[in-house]
Amino acid sequence: MVLGLTLLNPVTVTYFTTLILGMKSVSSDNLSLAFLFVAGAFLASFSWQTLLASVSGLAHRRFSPRLQMVTFAVGNLMIIVIGIVIFLGLI
C-alpha cells in the first residue's frame, strides 16, 4: 500500500526517474547512494502516510458527522480545483 501511494506521487516518480537516468555507471558508491535514497524516500512516505492516517483517525472519532461531511466536501473540492489548474497549465 505504501509503495503504491509513493509511486503515485509525481515528485517522487520524477526524482526516481532522474536518479536512474542520471546514473552513468553502476559503481558500488552509486548503488549505495541509490539504495539510501530509495530507503529514505520510502521511510519519508511511510511516516507521512502514517501521520495522515493517525490524524484522520482522531478526527473521525472527534468530529461530528456534519463536520466530517463538510471536511470531506472541502477536501475533494480542493483536489478537483488543483487538478483543473494543473490540467489547464496555470501552474
Give the tens place of pLDDT for each residue, 40-59: 877 887 888 889 889 988 98
pLDDT of residue 40: 83
26, containing H or E segment:
none
Task: Retrieve residue 35's grid coordinates.
Answer: 539504495
Q: Is the pLDDT of residue 72 over 80?
A: yes
**Terminal Cα distance for the chain, rounded:** 29
Region 27-47: mean pLDDT is 77
CB 59 within 8 A of CB 71: yes
pTM exceeding 0.85: no
Task: Retrieve residue 81's grid coordinates.
Answer: 480545483
Q: Is the pLDDT of residue 88 over 70?
A: yes
